[in-house]
Homo-oligomer: A and B are copies of this chain.
Amino acid sequence: MIKPTPLSGFPEWLPAQQLAEQKFIDTIRSVYELYGFSRLETSAVERVGILEAKGEINKEIYGIGRLQGPPGRWEMALHFDLTVPLARYVALNSGALSFPFKRWQIQKVWRGERPQEGRFREFYQADIDVIGDGELPLSFDAEMPAVIHEVFKRLGIKAQININNRKVLLGYYQSLGLTEELSVSILREVDKLDKIGVDKVKEALLKLDLSEAAAESCLTLCRLKGAPQAVIEQAEALHIDNELFGQGLAELKFIAEELSHIGEESLIFNLGIVRGLDYYTGTIYETSLPDYPGLGSICSGGRYENLASQFINRRLPGVGISIGLSRLISHLFSVNAIDCRTQTPTKVLITWPEEALRPACRAIAARLRNSGIPAEIYHETAPLKKQLRYADRKGIDYILFPHLYSESEEQIEIKNMQTANQEQISLSSWIEQYKKSQS
C-alpha cells in the first residue's frame, strides 16, 4: 500500500472550496466575455527553446520527458506564464487571427520555485490581452481597468486599481537631463518604495550619483498618488517641458476620462508604481485589496510595444493584465473569507421514501433538471433521517418529499433547510418561485 501524501506547492482543494474556486473562475470569465475577450487555451507544454526565448527565469522551468530512460536533453517543458504561450500562438497563427486580437486565458502554469506561503508550483492565472497589428488604440489601455473593476465588483471584493504610465516617469527623468540607462536604474529603486520606504529609496538614488535635488525631485513625482483628476493636475503643475512626459500625461488623461464612472476607492493614479519588467512601455497597472493588504498586487499588467519580437518579424503591440487567481483564492480560504457551506451543486434533494415512489421521484427530478435546477434523488430507500443527514452534510438547500406527486396532481412538499420553512405547493409554482428568487 502506498500512502498518498500531498505534494508541497501543488494546491488542491476540498469539495466546498472546489466550488468556490469554480465560481471565481466563472465570474472572471463571464466579465472577460462581456467585454468581447475570446477564449484561448494553449497547450501546457512548449518547446524549451520557446520558453527560453526571453532568457532569465529558466531555472524555474519544469521540463518534461518520458519516464523510460533519463532524457538526454530537455526538449519540452511546462509553460510558466500565459504571455510567452500567447506570443508563440499569435506568431504561429498570425495569418488566421483577426486583429485587434482580444483573448482571455485562464489556465494553470508551473514554476519550480521553493514552495512558501502564497507561492505555488502549480497555479492559476487569469489573463486578458489585446494584441494589435502594427498599432493598438489607447482605448484598450482604458478597457483593462474597467474589466478588472467589474470583475472584483462581481466577486464582492474591494479592489483598488493603481495606474501609472512609464512615459511620465521616463520623460520626467529626461527633463532632468538623466540618461536612459540611469532612468532604468532609478525605476528599479523607485519600484521598492512600498517595500523599503522613502528614506531608503532616496539613499539608493543618491548612490546612483543623483544630486540631492534630482533625487528629491524623482521622489516628489513618484509620490503623486490619488484621484486621477487630482494627480493629473499636480503633474501638470510641475510644468515639465518634455515630449515623452506630455505624451504619458495625455494618455493618463484619456484613461481618466474613460474611467470617470469609477470612484477613487476603486481607481487611483499612482506615479510610484513601476512594475519590475522592462517589458512595459506605457500604461501600467497594479491592484491592491484594501481588506487584504498583505497580499500585495493581485492583478498587474500594462502596455508593451511588441508581443512577439522573438518569434515573428511583425510589430504586435499589446496591453494586458493578469489576476493571480490561486494566490488570491488560497489567501481568502486561509482567512475564511469565503463561504464554504455547500459542497455540491445540487439544490434539491428528492427523498426516496419507498420503492413505489421511484417513478414519481424520477419525474420530479426530470422536471427540475429541465428547468436548470440541479437535483438528486436519494440513492436508496433509506430511513428519512439518513437522507436528511446526507443533505445536511452536503449543504443542499431544499429537501423535497414526493409522496403527494402524481402526473395529474403535481403537488410536492418541500422544505427550505435554511429557513426550516416547509410547504405544500405545485411543482411548477415552486420552480417559478425558485427561479425568481435566484434572478
Contacts and interface: CB of A to CB of B under 8 A. Distances in A.
Nearest to A132: B379
A100 B393 CA distance: 11
Interface of A: 1-7, 10-15, 18-19, 21-22, 33-50, 53, 58-68, 70-71, 74, 76-78, 88-89, 91-93, 96-98, 100-103, 108, 110, 112, 121-122, 137, 139-140, 150, 258, 261, 310-313, 343-346, 362, 366, 369, 372-377, 379-380, 390, 393-394
Nearest to A89: B12
Contacts of A344: 36, 38, 102
Contacts of A60: 66
A49 B6 contact: no
Contacts of A377: 139
A380 B45 contact: no
Contacts of A373: 34
Nearest to A102: B344
Contacts of A5: 47, 92
A47 B141 CA distance: 43
Nearest to A370: B34
A114 B90 CA distance: 27
B41 A18 contact: yes
A319 B260 CA distance: 55
A63 B66 contact: yes
Given A4-B50, A140-B379, A369-B35, A40 B18 contact: yes
17 contacts: A1-B311, A12-B89, A15-B39, A19-B39, A36-B346, A39-B345, A45-B121, A58-B68, A59-B67, A63-B67, A65-B65, A67-B112, A98-B343, A137-B379, A140-B379, A150-B369, A261-B362
B41 A4 contact: no
A405 to B, nearest CB: 16
Contact of A7 (B43, B58, B108, B379): B43
A196 B151 CA distance: 56
A61 B53 contact: no
Contact of A61 (B66, B108, B139, B140): B66
B68 A59 contact: yes
Contacts of A13: 41
Contacts of A6: 92
Contact of A19 (B34, B38, B139, B369): B38
Nearest to A124: B41
Contacts of A46: 7
A98 B372 CA distance: 24
Given A21-B39, A38-B343, A61-B67, 18 more contacts: A1-B313, A2-B49, A2-B310, A3-B311, A7-B46, A14-B97, A15-B40, A18-B39, A33-B345, A34-B369, A34-B373, A34-B374, A35-B369, A35-B374, A62-B67, A67-B112, A100-B379, A137-B379
A92 B2 CA distance: 11
Contacts of A74: 67
Contact of A59 (B63, B66, B70, B71): B66
Contacts of A48: 67
A261 to B, nearest CB: 8
Nearest to A378: B139
A337 to B, nearest CB: 20
Nearest to A258: B362
A214 B175 CA distance: 97
Nearest to A390: B98
Contacts of A43: 7, 10-12, 122
A2 B311 contact: yes
A48 B68 CA distance: 12
Contacts of A91: 4
Q: Which 10 A-B pairs have the closest CB atoms?
A: A36-B346, A36-B376, A10-B43, A33-B345, A66-B112, A34-B369, A4-B92, A98-B393, A137-B380, A137-B379
Contacts of A4: 50, 88, 91-92, 311-312
Most buried by B among A13, A139, A345: A345
Contact of A2 (B50, B150, B369): B50
